[in-house]
Amino acid sequence: MEANDRVRVRRHPERGDYSAETIHQILDEAYYCHVGFASRGQSVVLPTTHARVGDVLYLHGAAASAMLNAASDAPICLTATILDGLVLARSVYHHSMNYRSVVVFGVAREVTDETEKRMALEALVEHVVPGRSKDARPPTGTELASTRVLRLAIGESSAKIRTGPPKDSEADHALDVWAGVVPLHLETSAPTPDPEIRPGIPVPDYLRGLGSARRNG
């Protein structure tokens, strides 16, 4: 993708990446995103779930959602972040984080076509737990009507990636202070069955190794 003036990373430009492959990978690995929009003269940024299908991101929520209402047909900014490590420098000044993040600018549009809406809802479930949509009951007509889906083309977008150790000044290397990186990653624990679950239903295979499968694409 082309880096235009709006998405060109100026602070640490060497960390900018505009390739669709990188941007898609980060969006796919991140469980959720934040959507920034204007609401009655106020900037609002709210966390929500997303799913990518090709060059399009889908968002969903209650038909009455104020966020989806304000974001529909409006210029929005969506960000997704994966935290990879805490970067501890010898100086307070150089403390940082290792991360992969994406920013997408665009105008979100409501999906009204029923086929696309159903496909988007399936993609949202698959984004969180691949394999789940084959198992779970599809939405009824009433559930579909009470759900709003927005589509946002991944056009103007950027990724920014920080990796590696702290960047202390040469003089600070002489300090008697531990410095380095504490790696971070999301991990799933053993699934806890719903107390109301019918006896004899096993934990599905697609839940095994969910976290690591996601990290490894």
Ligand X SMILES: Cc1cc2nc3c(=O)[nH]c(=O)nc-3n(C[C@H](O)[C@H](O)[C@H](O)COP(=O)(O)OP(=O)(O)OC[C@H]3O[C@@H](n4cnc5c(N)ncnc54)[C@H](O)[C@@H]3O)c2cc1C
11 or 40, CB closer to ligand X?
Answer: 11
81 or 91, CB closer to ligand X?
Answer: 81
Binding residues for ligand X (CB under 6 A): 6-11, 81, 83, 97, 99, 101-103, 158-160
Distance between CA atoms of residues 209 and 88, nearest Å: 30
**Closest CB 185 distance from ligand X, rounded Å:** 14
151 contacts 109 by C-beta, under 8 angstroms: yes
29 or 126, CB closer to ligand X?
Answer: 29
Backbone dihedral angles phi then psi of residue 69, each to the nearest 5 degrees = -65, -45
Residue 16: CB partners within 8 Å, gap ≥ 6? 3, 8, 9, 158, 159, 160
47 or 209, CB closer to ligand X?
Answer: 47
**Closest CB 172 distance from ligand X, rounded Å:** 19
